[in-house]
């Protein structure tokens, strides 16, 4: 492994937001383990990403602690600034280890699986198709977002009428864990989170969380922390997966026809391929409690390892024609839901969302074509801000 | 000159150093700004001078206040 290779990971390289995959391939092919100037490491190949996700002794870092350390700086010279970022992220399971992680993870899982999902999702689909019926042009991201939001809003009893506001709230929560966030944006996130402390009204979901965490004596802020992450984790990734997937499919009329004709088994295979292809969560971070060698690269203990799931999911050693969306891909061990102790608890739900919506949505959307796309600059979570579609004449 | 002064103010504010002790030909990294400060300064530069997103590597390439001011001048 050539640590002197001049291929360096740089999410500000030209066109990265539009299409990160050529740059990630370049990294994977030429410099698959990279040490950064802050002594963190980036890992791009499937073999190691997969291995490190599953490594039982590896830890996750604490976002809440990081934000806590930075709060004095972030709120310096801010009048009436009430630092809440660290508190707000305290119980987000992707940043917890050991016993507290297991407890919070179990509570959120139970709460989600106490919902009548199929009914909620069918109702969401009907509402979405109704909302966009007869529209000449619209934003496909909102089309997907409204579908996902409709069910989450009911399940979590969210007291916000306007979809635009919910979208903004979720996006700011997602940004709190992003890379390269300036203090000005952290201040905005902080204000938003504080102003919405009472948005999650009483619900079965909340009751289950409380019941399952009885022994922990959670205070209101901690309960709010769990509700926020349940909302954001479920909304943001599902919306992104569906919109990125539909965007790709709409470019290819043969693929649309293939999906419209698919049977249940074929549909499940296609949906897995959409998860691989979109990889909504593109990176995740682990800490190695002991030193390791990755190829020729020595990594000292307690380093921050950025595992590039997006790159692993396009590794040609595992996936033939990795940059093609192949609807009948047979071998598909993608890592879009992570793996190991932090593997996504919502994978079954995400699959169900797709199984219910994909065919009816395509039947509706096949009369439309994509005319414009605006990608977000986010790095950890791949998101389009707008995908404009217009009715074909 | 306006850009340079604006930058000088920013960096003084972020680093806690007195303005008149800052040498505009000294590498900015000597002022011990961490990455969050650099990103926040970049964000302010974008806003102030109406620039598109700045690649944080400009701080490495244009690593003094004088060079950075010149770089901004060339962007606007
Ligand atoms: C296509 C949709 C989704 C994708 C691609 C996705 C992806 C992921 C990934 C990669 C992780 C692991 C993060 C890590 O290892 O650091 C994760 C964790 C998580 N996901 Fe999802 N997710 C999706 C949908 C959902 C949904 C619908 C829910 C809720 C119902 C959900 C809830 C969670 C939670 C709570 C965690 C944290 C688990 C833990 O740390 O123990 N996700 N997700």
| CATH at B45 | 1.10.1200.10
Domains identified in chain B, total number: 1
Q: What is the pLDDT of residue B31?
A: 86
Q: Domain range for residue B15?
A: 2-75
Q: Would you call A180 and B40 a contact, using CB atoms and an 8 Å cutoff?
A: no
Q: What is the pLDDT of residue A2?
A: 44
pLDDT at A393: 84
Task: Choose among A42, A53, A38: nearest CA to A3.
Answer: A42
**Interchain pair B44, A184: CB under 8 A:** yes
Take atom 31 of ligand 1 and give the residue whose Cα is closest.
A346
Q: Which CATH architecture has domain A21-391?
A: Orthogonal Bundle (1.10)
Chain-chain contact of A185 with B43 (C-beta, under 8 angstroms): yes
Minimal-distance CA residue of chain A relative to B60: A37
CA A250 to chain centre: 22
Residue minimizing CA distance to atom 27 of ligand 1 = A234
3-state helix vs strand vs coil in chain B, percent to 5: 65, 0, 35
- Per residue in A147-187, pLDDT tens? 999 999 999 999 999 999 999 999 999 999 999 999 999 99
Domain boundaries, chain A: 21-391
The string of pLDDT tens digits covering residues A177-235 is: 999 999 999 999 999 999 999 999 999 999 999 999 999 999 999 999 999 999 999 99
Report the first-to-last Cα separation within chain B, whole angstroms: 14
**Start-to-end Cα distance in chain A:** 54
CB contacts, 8 Å: B36 with chain A = 70, 73-74, 182-183
Report the pLDDT value the prediction gives residue A4, as an integer from 0 to 100. 55
pLDDT of residue A1: 46
Taking CB atoms and an 8 Å cutoff, what residues of chain B touch A15?
none
Tell me the count of A-B CB pairs closer than 8 A: 30
Q: Is the dihedral of CA A154, A160, A162, A165 positive or negative?
A: negative
Residues 6 or more apart in contact with residue B23 via CB below 8 angstroms: none
> What are A230's two structure tokens?
């349940």
């Amino acid at each position: 492994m050539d640590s002197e290779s001049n291929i360096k990971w740089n999410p500000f390289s030209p066109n990265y937001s539009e299409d990160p995959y050529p740059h990630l391939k370049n990294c994977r092919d030429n410099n698959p383990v990279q040490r950064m100037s802050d002594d963190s490491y980036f890992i791009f190949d499937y073999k190691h990403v997969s291995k490190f996700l599953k490594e039982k002794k590896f830890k996750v870092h604490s976002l809440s602690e990081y934000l806590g350390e930075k709060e004095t700086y972030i709120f310096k010279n801010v009048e009436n600034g009430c630092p809440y970022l660290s508190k707000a992220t305290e119980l987000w399971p992707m940043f917890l280890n050991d016993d507290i992680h297991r407890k919070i993870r179990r509570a959120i899982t139970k709460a989600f699986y106490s919902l009548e999902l199929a009914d909620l999702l069918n109702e969401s689909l009907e509402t979405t198709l109704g909302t966009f019926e007869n529209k000449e042009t619209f934003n496909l991201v909102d089309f997907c977002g409204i579908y996902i939001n409709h069910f989450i809003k009911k399940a979590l009893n969210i007291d916000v009428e306007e979809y635009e506001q919910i979208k903004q709230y979720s996006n700011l929560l997602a940004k709190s864990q992003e890379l390269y966030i300036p203090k000005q944006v952290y201040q905005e996130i902080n204000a938003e989170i504080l102003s919405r402390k009472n948005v999650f009204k009483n619900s079965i979901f909340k009751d289950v969380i409380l019941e399952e965490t009885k022994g922990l004596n959670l205070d209101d802020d901690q309960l709010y922390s769990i509700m926020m992450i349940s909302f954001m984790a479920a909304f943001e990734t599902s919306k992104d997966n569906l919109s990125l997937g539909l965007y790709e499919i709409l470019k290819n009329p043969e693929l649309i026809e293939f999906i419209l004709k698919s049977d249940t088994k074929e549909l499940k295979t296609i949906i897995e391929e959409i998860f691989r292809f979109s990889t909504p969560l593109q990176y995740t971070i682990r800490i190695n409690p002991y030193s390791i060698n990755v190829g020729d690269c020595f990594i000292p203990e307690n380093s921050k390892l950025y595992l590039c799931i997006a790159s692993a999911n396009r590794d040609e050693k595992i996936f033939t024609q990795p940059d093609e969306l192949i609807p009948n891909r047979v071998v598909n061990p993608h890592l879009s839901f992570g793996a190991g102790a932090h593997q996504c608890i919502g994978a079954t739900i995400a699959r169900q969302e797709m199984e219910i919506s994909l065919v009816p949505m395509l039947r509706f959307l096949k009369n439309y074509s994509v005319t414009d796309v605006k990608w977000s600059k986010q790095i950890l979570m791949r998101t389009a801000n707008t995908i404009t579609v217009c009715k074909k004449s | 000159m306006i850009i340079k002064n604006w930058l000088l103010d920013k960096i003084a504010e972020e680093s806690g150093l007195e303005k008149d002790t800052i040498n505009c030909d000294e590498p900015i990294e000597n002022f011990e700004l961490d990455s969050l400060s650099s990103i926040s300064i970049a964000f302010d530069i974008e806003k102030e001078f109406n620039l598109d997103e700045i690649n944080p590597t400009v701080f490495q390439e244009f690593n003094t206040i004088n060079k950075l001011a010149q770089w901004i001048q060339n962007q606007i």
